[in-house]
Structure 1
Amino acid sequence: MNVRSSQAPQNTVGRYKIYGLFGGGVLGSVIGVLASGPNFFVWSPAQSIGVVAGLTMGMAVIGYFFAGLVVGDSAGDGASAEGQKEMNSTVGGGSAADGADGGGVGD
């Protein structure tokens, strides 16, 4: 296998994880400002800043992992390797251990 071909999906996944990090952070900031805006005069400044910062960091982490999973799955870097192994083991009608004859048409 070519080193470059195996590195391409990893580079793509890494790049999209960064996109997810920043995209989630921006989305979290917007949600935080919208959530603390109506309560600006009710809450203390520290509480308003805490809400905005907490939502920013929380959404950034969620965006990082979400983008890594979505792009990793479509890039085929093994993010869902267990699911792929399970799928490959069931293709063909099952195994001899579960009582099947291994599958195939006309057996």
Structure 2
Amino acid sequence: MTVVPFPADKWTWESARGLSRAVRVSPHVEAGLLTVSFWRDDRCAGTVRLTPTEAASLVGRLTAALAGLAEPRGIPTTGEAPLVERLAQVEQRLRILEEGAPPPPA
């Protein structure tokens, strides 16, 4: 059996529920679309092709949903200082990744 590495420009999230479920995201630069596909085991169960505007809307809605999940747990979602600090940390990690160096331990 030959194992083919997953392409670097695609992302996969497996379901915490198990059952071999996963979501894969694949950019298609040539078509100007982003494909979100739903997998069960090694078979694609469904695909949605999003324009950049649709993908941005999805990201916005996911962000709003995450903010809603954070509030009941006592995680502050307001206040500029913590957000600015977190953004600076994310930007630092991205710079490290772009330079090809491994990120510092968390």
Q: Specify the structure having the higher radius of gyration (Cα).
A: 1
**Which one scores higher on RCO, CA 8 angstroms, separation ≥ 6?**
1
Q: Which has the higher strand share?
A: 2
Same fold, judged at TM 0.5 (above): no
TM-score norm. by structure 2 comes to: 0.26
